[in-house]
Structure 1
């Protein structure tokens, strides 16, 4: 009942009512407390003890450890509202301390380093639909990066996941009207680690968005950012700024521009192609391991790591821009000593980009400023080492000015809290030095004053003492009372001595008592003054951060080229694709050195061929060959060297990758439907300048249907679109397709011995066998099944015209079943030892119980002993 609610809980309920979608951290003394549903959910998510306050569930976390718990909740997609005590603590029985929400922390607006991954942008994104147009925007509050694009609403099913895949936002904001949109919901479901929130549609206003953007950028209009009052991007971008302002509760002066981009500026790659090519994460668990990013990311700074991801997801289409990057990579490749010296200096550079953001938003502390100073010193060293080869487009003088300011004002190991002191260097402020002198050398000051009074009074045994009640006092023995001067003020008479004070002693004591407070106040004010002076350099620091990241990424590309023996590709505005000795950058790094078999590919060259039909068995290397050429093309257009002996490549505008088989049961889509949907997208979107790789089109349906579809798709790509195409298939009938613009390739197989050997070499010609039964044997299919499959195959091949009905014979496996030894699977891809080793390496030790561990060990022992 209402009359049973305590004033404290009523205060909590009032605040919670204003923040129903956030977990409310309610400050009570040294703890943040959560109640009711928040408490139940958080205790479950964080494994906290759930208690009760009256009838209300409650759990809490210590104030000093809050960041650890907040970081975990953010990773789970939760939003946190921080309610602090903002008023003076009243006397007992005099009412409640005032509390209010001072900050809302969300996955996409988190500012503290404890909540962030240094090498990955922390993007907040928003999408807004207006009739036939859709706007998409994303922002990283910590760095100031702000981008937007637009596309036709009719293509939202293709473009929305593509843009989400490019920026991988931590949080997505959508209008409430899209909550029931099936396409939007299906897309959002693909990104399960992304937090999603819905807000009323009126928040996404064209007028208010335009006003918010011009106010943020300090401009009369947005024409310099390629935006007008009617641009659909304004709706989503404007709301993002408003959302950031209301959640962080601080201004963001470092966000001074927005980049509006179009598909024509970068290589277009749909989300399915990006996933299949494993650009920034593998298909298995999404981690960087076994991805293209892993092969080239030798960056030494957080800024460089973020830029590396950006270059891989926004590959260029401008030849001159690509060649400019290549020239800088080549500078490091040709001078290994220079490369090593630059990378050594990069090791000393911290996240200048986010440090600039922290300064702009009044979040930086003393250690941040010292980190900035050290980073800029290393950057100046890099510019000096580069000498005449310096490609930075920035004046080093402001960096030197910043270094001097911090070096002269901030202690080398300052405190991070403004309430602790120990931040400002001696010599920076005369007033601060005075008060430190008072505090640190008070005994010396007293000794000097004692000597002064001894000389003036002639009382040589005069002493200054201190007591808890009286403070400091002068003590004069009874025998010297006749020499006590008139300016001594009596405090107390004792048996053997009298105690006095003086105006000067009282002043000295007052100064001592005041010194602690004055030192803290002065240090805080002086630090804020220094930080505010640094705000004038925020734009310069952001530009410097980009230059540092550029040097880091280009030297990282050079490091990859040197380590892996890659070459500089020739980039031109043509359709040619000529690669000699090409290798798959990822596969090559994860097999023993020298085992990877390089292959050539020549399309759109002298013979005018744009289409390569590739046949051959599974496991012979077709998919690797297809993917490696797509990755070579992508790498080349980022400015990187490529894994080949030679490469001459024309610019591609789009890369499509249709490989593998998957279904989407939740959406009621079969493997074949997913395959056909992706194929349809390619046929509708590819241009003459695109690169298309397709593997096993039509395998999800009957042979006749599949062959017909594969043939028609091949002809359409070959004759209508005329793009560079690698088309791998098991349909040998496709080799009868003749065209001057198509060439036939196959995977070489050695059958000269009793064992079939896949050479993984691409040669001209067509394969006449799929070797599926051989692959089944390699996979560990029982030998009786292998023999029976061989019998059926021979029967089918022997009756090509009139395919027989092959009856299942219930006795066909009888002989094998009566054999004494069970069918062994040790002839598969891995031995028992390898399987157990793999299980050990992947075992989550912290997540199993002792009894489970013992049972697992017993199972390994049983397997290895053969019993």
Structure 2
């Protein structure tokens, strides 16, 4: 595209300037940029948005644009009509954008006036092009006051506004957990937290979040309280479980203030805030959530190969967001869980209803965000028509759902809104208010008259000419026009004596005279103003209509929630039918009994019927005969990790109200799910793989309760065998004696199978050995495994055969006498049981070395090469062996 005259003039001025001299345009840019140092300034020059200096360098790198120069200043630009595409990409990079437009007449002489009309940030973006329809776009804020941390987050596009708090001493656990759950696009923090170690460590793990710091005085408790009162139009906040001293008030109030100053909207559709506590939802730390791959996978962060992928059969954007929320916030209240289950079951049993609902949901657009755009006066005519079509389809769906136990708002208001839009707005209206083509004929008599004039100019003039011909008898009278005089009546000289008195002479010509009349002047004025009047009237009528719809914003938002709920429950039913899942029995017991359980994600990506189901029966009930601690042994690649994860996912699915991948399931609701699986490091924080493992283990031991569900895999493997076995043994004791929670503990330390406790059961992965052929059956059975088959797995991975042979030789040597490595006097854990209050870890089971001194010396003798030793080295070795054995 050729650059506009304004841009070219700026260029020519720059080219004539002396080196180092700034043009008026650049001076104007620098003046505006001074006020917007934190934003990328999109500076309008004709048909382009230009960026200069550091903005140009950074944007050209991020967007792969060509970097040019205007004089000494680096510069790059984008066409204004394609700006949304580039802005969306910059927002994904966490950038803030200030849009500077030409507000003066570009044709006027001198420098065109410009000003910033909009600031767009990742957390305040409103346009659909900037948003992910399937996820909330949260703007979050955290602040610390008087030993308490307040955390609030808001999606201005949907009006979802949440807040919670915790003690500052629990900061490390709760901040990362909340960030992982709501995953905000933008985070606002006081400057006092800029060097807070806990905050910065969490942000290192979430680099995609745009973070801004503000002086601490912005987070004033009193001003925030007043801001919330004004927003919600209430005299107090007791209805939202808040008071003047609540720690949630300061961050919530600052979010609204930030929104007003940045996005220049007071968000009238945000009429309340939901304050929640951890007890309402199943708690999962960020590590457990990532390891279970609930909404995104560990490989690339997408929803593929995640639990969300298995359940994602929703048809509406509102349903997609709600399903994601259910997965991140599983319920703990059994009655609420059963309520969801019943609605899922309704769809499962009525497949015709399910198909009908899914088909119509596909025609429903994002009512939630459309209502928000209407409330914030951002909706255009096509948005309003989309709202009408969506409500029409919803009315058809709810006719079927009303008799099935779903509760809905009254439908008369939806019908009124549909009728209002249908009668007023064209089926395919223009999006820009200045284009016309918005309001239907018959809606406004005034607009219809302007359109009649605009569309029938020739007929109006011909009709008037016929009137004058009949009145004057001058049959050759003609109405003509030109650019100088406008419309006029032309009469030949031969008819001059017949010209009536109300004709006003405009000009005398050789063969004819030109006249006008008061009536003709009125017609000319009407014709000249018709187009402008059409645009102005249509605009006024549309804004009036939009305001009427905005009065019902709360109703539309409630309707959107009803649609989302029906969409999600039908989606869960579809997944249950597609994959053969069953309705679990959920209660407040401590049982966890699964018959034929499967891993939903693994099964989805395997050929039909190939996944091997497994059972589990554990219980923390005192009167139950089932153990609550399952120790699982078995080889690598046999399916231990899959088995652990599948049971955690089954528990989570049950507590969002879904059916589960099993033949039968009885699940006692849990308060927390912990997943200590997998190995990773955190080099940015200087933490090794083993330190990360121990940190996660420590978190579980410190925070789990009797109602928690814990899965742990290979605890202690990141250090020496003796250290690792000792840690795994001690952790197992603590889980058995102190916490007494439902636990699945997988390990390669077969020595742990010697633990003796009435609440411990031994499980192992079944292996088939025929001659030299080893087959992993992926089936769980009672008992303990005697072999890890690690060398077999190494062979499958392609290690050289010489390495495999040598490994087998070493293994045979090490296994000699290994059965006696654990002392027979290790004692029974049964004698060590105490209550958690009695500090059970103060007593421990004595554990000797894994291998005897004789075995270690013998192994060293067999591995040394005497031919390569000097006499001195040989004597030193003998002396060391004697010293090692003298301890006997």
Same fold (TM over 0.5): yes
1:358 aligns with 2:412: no
Residue aligning to 1:394? 409
Deviation by residue 1:269-325 (Cα, 9 ceiling, x = unmatched): 000000000000000011000000000010000000000000000000001100000
Q: Hey, what's the Cα distance between the residues in 1 that align with 2:814 and 2:599?
A: 37
Residue aligning to 2:829? none
Residue aligning to 1:347? 362
3-state DSSP of counterpart to 2:804: helix
1:61 Cα deviation after fit? 1.9
3-state DSSP of counterpart to 2:773: coil
Residue aligning to 1:844? none
Q: 1:783 aligns with which of 789, 801, 810?
A: 801
Residue aligning to 1:586? 601
Residue aligning to 1:758? 776
Residue aligning to 2:103? 86
Q: Hey, what's the Cα distance between the residues in 2 that align with 1:91 and 1:63?
A: 21
1:700 aligns with 2:715: no
Structural mapping, 1:849-860, within 5 Å: none
Q: 2:47 aligns with which of 13, 17, 30?
A: 30
Q: Hey, what's the Cα distance between the residues in 2 that align with 1:132 and 1:683?
A: 25
Deviation by residue 1:224-260 (Cα, 9 ceiling, x = unmatched): 1111111111111111111111110122111111111
3-state DSSP of counterpart to 1:559: helix
Q: 1:491 aligns with which of 492, 506, 510?
A: 506
1:493 Cα deviation after fit? 3.2
Q: 1:656 aligns with which of 671, 674, 678?
A: 674
1:769 aligns with 2:803: no
1:66 aligns with 2:120: no
Q: Hey, what's the Cα distance between the residues in 2 that align with 1:666 and 1:53?
A: 40
1:304 aligns with 2:358: no
3-state DSSP of counterpart to 1:805: helix
Q: Hey, what's the Cα distance between the residues in 1 that align with 2:563 and 2:200?
A: 39
CA contact (8 A) 2:19 2:71 kept: no
Residue aligning to 2:544? 529
Q: 2:554 aligns with which of 529, 533, 539?
A: 539
CA contact (8 A) 2:256 2:266 kept: no
3-state DSSP of counterpart to 2:434: coil
- Residues 753, 385 of structure 1: CA spacing in aligned structure 2 closer, same or farther, 3 A cutoff? farther
1:59 Cα deviation after fit? 2.0
Residue aligning to 1:334? 349
Residue aligning to 1:313? 328
CA contact (8 A) 1:102 1:249 kept: no
1:18 Cα deviation after fit? 1.4
Of stretches 473-482 and 727-736 in structure 1, the one that deviates more from structure 2 is 473-482
Query: Where do 5+ consecutive residues of structure 1 fail to align?
Result: 812-867
Q: Hey, what's the Cα distance between the residues in 2 that align with 1:702 and 1:618?
A: 19
Residue aligning to 2:445? 430
1:85 Cα deviation after fit? 2.8
1:735 Cα deviation after fit? 0.4
1:88 Cα deviation after fit? 4.9
Q: Hey, what's the Cα distance between the residues in 2 that align with 1:105 and 1:657?
A: 38
1:764 Cα deviation after fit? 0.5
Of stretches 479-488 and 574-583 in structure 1, the one that deviates more from structure 2 is 479-488
CA contact (8 A) 2:617 2:626 kept: no
Alignment size in residue pairs:
809
3-state DSSP of counterpart to 1:640: coil
Residue aligning to 1:147? 162
1:116 Cα deviation after fit? 0.5
Residue aligning to 1:132? 147
1:674 aligns with 2:692: yes
Residue aligning to 2:272? 257
Residue aligning to 2:37? 20
Residue aligning to 1:476? 491
Q: Hey, what's the Cα distance between the residues in 2 that align with 1:705 and 1:761?
A: 30
Q: Hey, what's the Cα distance between the residues in 1 that align with 2:626 and 2:224?
A: 51
Q: Hey, what's the Cα distance between the residues in 2 that align with 1:342 and 1:808?
A: 73
1:153 Cα deviation after fit? 1.2
Residue aligning to 2:823? none
Q: Hey, what's the Cα distance between the residues in 2 that align with 1:640 and 1:107?
A: 33
Query: Where do 5+ consecutive residues of structure 2 fail to align?
Result: 1-17, 819-851, 867-888
Residue aligning to 1:53? 70
1:663 Cα deviation after fit? 1.0
Q: Hey, what's the Cα distance between the residues in 2 that align with 1:170 and 1:359?
A: 23
Of stretches 6-15 and 286-295 in structure 1, the one that deviates more from structure 2 is 6-15
Deviation by residue 1:29-68 (Cα, 9 ceiling, x = unmatched): 2222222111121122212232333322222222222111
Root-mean-square deviation (CA, aligned residues, Å) is 1.7
Residue aligning to 1:231? 246
Residue aligning to 2:767? 749
Deviation by residue 1:61-82 (Cα, 9 ceiling, x = unmatched): 2222211111111011100111
1:368 Cα deviation after fit? 0.4
Residue aligning to 2:883? none
3-state DSSP of counterpart to 1:192: coil
Q: Hey, what's the Cα distance between the residues in 1 that align with 2:275 and 2:754?
A: 48
3-state DSSP of counterpart to 1:514: helix
Residue aligning to 1:805? 859
Structural mapping, 1:551-630, within 5 Å: 551-604=566-619, 606-630=624-648
CA contact (8 A) 2:204 2:684 kept: no
- Residues 799, 689 of structure 1: CA spacing in aligned structure 2 closer, same or farther, 3 A cutoff? closer
1:479 Cα deviation after fit? 3.6
Deviation by residue 1:692-740 (Cα, 9 ceiling, x = unmatched): 0000000011111111110110111111110000000000000010111
3-state DSSP of counterpart to 2:433: coil
CA contact (8 A) 2:708 2:741 kept: yes
Q: Hey, what's the Cα distance between the residues in 2 that align with 1:234 and 1:455?
A: 80
CA contact (8 A) 2:402 2:408 kept: no
1:466 Cα deviation after fit? 2.4
3-state DSSP of counterpart to 2:246: coil
3-state DSSP of counterpart to 1:592: coil
Structural mapping, 1:125-274, within 5 Å: 125-274=140-289
3-state DSSP of counterpart to 2:435: coil
Q: Hey, what's the Cα distance between the residues in 2 that align with 1:223 and 1:447?
A: 71
1:387 Cα deviation after fit? 4.1
Deviation by residue 1:544-595 (Cα, 9 ceiling, x = unmatched): 0100000000000000001000000001011010100000000000011100
Q: Hey, what's the Cα distance between the residues in 1 that align with 2:648 and 2:545?
A: 51
3-state DSSP of counterpart to 1:419: helix
CA contact (8 A) 2:165 2:247 kept: yes
CA contact (8 A) 1:30 1:63 kept: yes
Q: Hey, what's the Cα distance between the residues in 2 that align with 1:32 and 1:520?
A: 28
Of stretches 500-509 and 219-228 in structure 1, the one that deviates more from structure 2 is 500-509
- Residues 740, 428 of structure 1: CA spacing in aligned structure 2 closer, same or farther, 3 A cutoff? same
- Residues 739, 3 of structure 1: CA spacing in aligned structure 2 closer, same or farther, 3 A cutoff? closer
Of stretches 326-335 and 439-448 in structure 1, the one that deviates more from structure 2 is 439-448
1:390 Cα deviation after fit? 4.8
1:10 Cα deviation after fit? 2.7
Q: Hey, what's the Cα distance between the residues in 1 that align with 2:772 and 2:632?
A: 25
Q: Hey, what's the Cα distance between the residues in 2 that align with 1:657 and 1:504?
A: 86
Q: 2:664 aligns with which of 646, 649, 658?
A: 646
1:809 Cα deviation after fit? 8.3
